Amino acid sequence: MAKSKRFLERQQRMIDVAQGRIPDRVPICGLIETYALSYSGIPLKEAATSISKNVHAHAKIYDDIYYDCAYIASLAHAWEIGWTLGSDMFFISDDGFTEQHKEYAPMVPEDYDALAKDPIQFILNEFVPRKYSKLDATNEEQKKAFLSALIPFFKFAGAMVYGGYVFQKQDTPIVMGGAGQMPLDFLFDYLRGFKGTVGDLRRHKDKVKAATEALLPYSIDLSHMTNLMMGGFAGGPVWLVKNLVNAIILRNDFEFTTFPWVFNPAHMPSFMIPKQLEEFYWPGYKAVVEHIHAHGGHLLTVLEGEWGREKLEILRDLPDNSVTFVVENDDPKLVKEILSNNSIMAGLPLELLRNGTREECIAAAKKMVDELAPGGRFIFCTGDKVLLSASDAKAENIRAVNEFVHGYGLYY
């Protein structure tokens, strides 16, 4: 399907910001996950089991409220696969719409040597059966469970493809075009969890370093495969076939999409002191960023929690125009000042969007545009956190703010 002029203009605004050029106006990006379901009135369980409901539930808010681009076009996690394989790691809130997550990280310290020796073998043969009860079984039962998960997998992948079609039809580019899971975040999010990883940084320093070094090639391969899945619609059939062959068969250089971008939620750094960040997180993060940038891509990193000046300073050494940083609890002016060779995405506090008046929200948006738009390298987003619950923000405040920024944030 050919891209419309309006779609291409919106996409170009995002690319211009990422490349350090000043666009015609401040672009507006929706950082929306399951908030979209409550807005459209489609419960999460229905969205998770239907490609059509999944995509149209996410599309409605972008049809009703002005945005230049959307964070994602469908559910970010493969709910039905987890249910099929016996995992309840993700669960639905009592409201029926909001996604929640509980930690289950069954790796123990004694596993570090096996992980560092061969991450893929350890994850597939040891870790996954612990995480998914249906795979902790005989070979025959494992085969049955695997086959039963194929349809949910194709539905999950199908929602991404259909989402690309629907959102392109309504002239809304999708910003997420892959996952950049950093080595230490992978250990933190899936393998050892919060308590285990934080303790291991003190008690098993060398083993953590060996494990993250071993996980680095996996992180890079994951960015390739997810860019193929999530960026394939935008890249087009020629790009898709060429990179599919390169990534899987020839093992040649992978060419990332210029847009959409590879998404990376930086979970671990807000729980680390600057010295730990530089020692354990930075080497893997820098390597992934440099790889993606060198191969034509761009990273969208969420600065989860509060980083502070000292930790932000560590990121100064990244290549120019390689990352757009989504700001949560840090001062956006400070982030833009320190990381001036890259771009930022920032929005209003959710508390204001939830409890403030229309006039208060517009006044805060004006102040933010006045402070952050000069010189470019700024994307306005829905709020300072990803929207999950209906109570996160009033839709009328979002609509008023976006309409204001769209009209006020002109460069020429």
Mean pLDDT by 10 residues, the chain (412 residues): 92 97 97 96 95 97 97 91 83 87 86 95 89 84 87 91 94 95 94 93 96 95 91 85 78 86 95 96 97 96 96 97 98 97 98 97 98 97 93 97 97 85
Q: Give yes or no for a contact between 177 and 261, defined as CB atoms under 8 angstroms apart.
A: yes
Q: CA distances (Å), 174 to each of 62, 76, 124, 263, 412, in order?
A: 11, 13, 31, 11, 25
For 343, the enclosing helix (H) or strand (E) is strand 343-346
pLDDT of residue 11: 97
pLDDT of residue 251: 65
CB count in 10 Å sphere of residue 404 = 19
Give phi and psi for 256, each to the nearest 5: -75, 160
- Angle at alpha carbon of residue 338, lines to 334 and 342, rounded to 5°: 110
The rounded distance, in Å, linking the Cα atoms of 44 and 40 is 11
Q: Which tokens go with 42?
A: 């489609």
The structure tokens 């929207």 sit at 387
pLDDT of residue 101: 79
CA-CA-CA-CA dihedral for 222, 344, 298, 403, to nearest 10:
100
Side-chain-side CA neighbours of 53 within 13 Å: the count stands at 14
The rounded distance, in Å, linking the Cα atoms of 284 and 281 is 6
